[in-house]
Amino acid sequence: MKGNLMSGIEEGWLDKSYGDACLLLCIHTATQAVETAQQLMRLFANDGQQVNGLKRISDSAHPIRKAMLERPMASPTRIAC
């Protein structure tokens, strides 16, 4: 976080009004959130290809992957319940 703040200062954010600075920070945060979500979706797609290679157990693994995508903090035992 400190690095992001320092880069913002270097880009001249402190020269702008408070409202402009808040808007720039919100846009930056939203952009990071979108990029993170896109990376996770690519990771999920790549994992799906690996699961397809599991052959006979892939039918069991795909629902677990789907559940983990919907609830990333869930444990396998929580999903099974």
Kindly compute the dihedral angle of the four CA atoms of residues 74, 77, 80, 81, in this order, to the nearest 10 degrees.
-90
When pLDDT is cut at 50, 70 and 90, the band that residue 64 belongs to is confident
Report how far residue 2's alpha carbon sits from residue 8's, in angstroms, rounded to the nearest whole number.
10
Question: Can you give the pLDDT at residue 53?
Answer: 85
Question: Can you give the pLDDT at residue 2?
Answer: 47
What is the pLDDT of the chain when averaged over all its residues? 78
When pLDDT is cut at 50, 70 and 90, the band that residue 1 belongs to is very low
User: At which residue do the structure tokens 């699961």 appear?
Assistant: 51
Q: Can you give the pTM of this predicted structure?
A: 0.55
The lowest-confidence range among 1-5, 41-45, 55-59 is 1-5
Report how far residue 9's alpha carbon sits from residue 38's, in angstroms, rounded to the nearest whole number.
28
